Structure 1
Amino acid sequence: MVSDQTRAEIEEYLGQVPSWLDALSEPAADHSWGVVRDLEFGETELAGREKALVALGAAAAMNCPYCIHFHSEEARLEGVDDVGRNEAVNVAADVRYFSTILHGAEVEVDDFRRETAEIVGYIEQQGAEAAGAD
């Protein structure tokens, strides 16, 4: 259970203290809120819209109905429409799909990293050539 100070802070951020926060163990409760506050709600390198889409994609990949609902609503609050939310979920599904193939085929990580570096180099070269043509 969160401390009274943390409870007041959560209520200030969210308008209430969600009941599920009572499931947090005493030693980690305040810290757990701090992580959410600082990482998800705080000012970081990623904009709120980006964080909401990352979170929605991760929630969908984990098949968590609670997280999917929360982060879908969070994305909506950040101005992401249904098309954008669906795209985030589709990207997450694409990543999970290819991860399954890579693991199932036991692709060598070093080979994968080498090929990825070659692909990135090629794309960067194409971009540089296109910029030089302007």
Structure 2
Amino acid sequence: MVTDQAKAEIEEYMGQVPSWLDHLSEPAADHSWGVVRDLELGETALPNREKALVAVGAAAAMNCPYCIHFHEEEARLEGVDEEGLGEAVNVAANVRYFSTVLHGSEVDMADFEAETGEIVDYIEQQQAAAAGDD
């Protein structure tokens, strides 16, 4: 159960204390809120809009209807339209698809990392050349 201090913070952020928070075990309750507060709602290296889109993609990949609903609403609050939400879900699906192919095919990780490095080098060279054209 969340402490009274954490409940006050949650209510300040959200206007209420969601009932599902009562399902958090005592040792983790306040800590769990702290992670949400500091990582998802706080000022971090990623803008809140990007964090919301990451959350939508992760929720979709996990097939969690609760998380999908919450994070889609969060993303809408950050100005993401339906097209953007759909794209976030499609990107997550694409990552999951290729992850399944890579794992199922048992692609060698060292080879994969080496090829990825070569791809990054090539793209960086193309970007540098394009910037030199300006």
Q: What TM-score, normalized by structure 2, do the two folds share?
A: 0.99
**What amino acid does structure 2 have at the position aligned with 1:129?**
A
1:25 has 2:10 as partner: no
The Cα RMSD (Å) is 0.5
Q: Which deviations, in whole Å up to 9, do the C-alpha atoms of 1:62-84 show, x marking residues without a partner?
A: 00000000000000000000000
List alignment gaps of at least 5 residues for structure 2.
Answer: none
The 10-residue stretch of structure 1 (78-87 or 122-131) with the greater mean CA deviation from structure 2 = 122-131
| Runs of 4+ more than 6 Å apart | none
Distance 2:112 2:10 in 1: 44
Aligned residues: 134
Written as runs of structure 1 = structure 2, the 5 A alignment for 1:38-53 is 38-53=38-53
Distance 1:9 1:126 in 2: 49
Distance 1:131 1:3 in 2: 54
Written as runs of structure 1 = structure 2, the 5 A alignment for 1:114-125 is 114-125=114-125
Q: Which deviations, in whole Å up to 9, do the C-alpha atoms of 1:17-64 show, x marking residues without a partner?
A: 000000000111001000000000000000010000000000000000
List alignment gaps of at least 5 residues for structure 1.
Answer: none
Written as runs of structure 1 = structure 2, the 5 A alignment for 1:46-85 is 46-85=46-85
Distance 1:107 1:65 in 2: 32
